A = this chain, B = another copy of it.
Amino acid sequence: MNHLTAQIEALILASDEPLNVQKIRDLLLGSPDCEHVSVDSLSANIRDSLSELETHYQRRGIQVIQVGGGWQFRTATEHAELVQRLWQVKAPRLSRSALETLAIIAYRQPTTRAEIESLRGVRVSSQMIANLQERGWIKVIGRKEVPGRPHLFATGKQFLVDFGLNGLKDLPDSSQLMDDDELNLAAAQTASDQPVAQQELTNEEISNNE
């Protein structure tokens, strides 16, 4: 194990949060070892070390994995039950309504409460929204410029960290998701008045985000 990899290993263990390449680089740049290294080659070396660590821990009880854009030590999932026994704590369970709301926000972000409600066909409780916010899984990122100026929700960083995602693109494949046009085509050759109006709103929202 080379010195750099050892340094990075120590940093990842010491950090409370996932550490990304840039953060590691900034910390290393201050050290005397790296005085004469260019930033670019240091970044490349860090990346090499990280993948070396990732490989090394692949078959052990703990792992070095990339979440939310950074690297972190985590226990291997196969020991979940054992570690839960250590904590004597019930695994936090999520209600279906919370999961559905979270899924809609994750895949359609930014989105409004009205849209979530129309997709789920039920009212969404403020408590549940507050709970998801409190966990850092969702956050308000602005208001939609329509009457009432409703909040626009998106996923927060903790969502990536807790669900082991490196970025939103790592979400379970949504390509099998029909987009709204396909939905309408499938449902009928022609659309009736009501859904089209909803439809356009949704599309507008999407294009606004781009």
Contact = CB atoms under 8 A, between A and B. Distances in A.
B203 A13 contact: no
A111 B178 CA distance: 25
Q: Which bucket holds chain A's interface residue count?
A: 35 or more
B10 A85 contact: no
A86 interface: yes
A173 interface: no
Interface string A1-25: 1000111111101111100000000
Interface in A45-91: 59-62, 73, 75-76, 78-91
A interface, over-half SS: helix
Contact of A200 (B27, B90, B96): B96
Nearest to A185: B95
A25 to B, nearest CB: 12
Contacts of A73: 13
Nearest to A179: B131
7 contacts: A6-B61, A9-B61, A10-B76, A11-B61, A91-B206, A99-B196, A130-B179
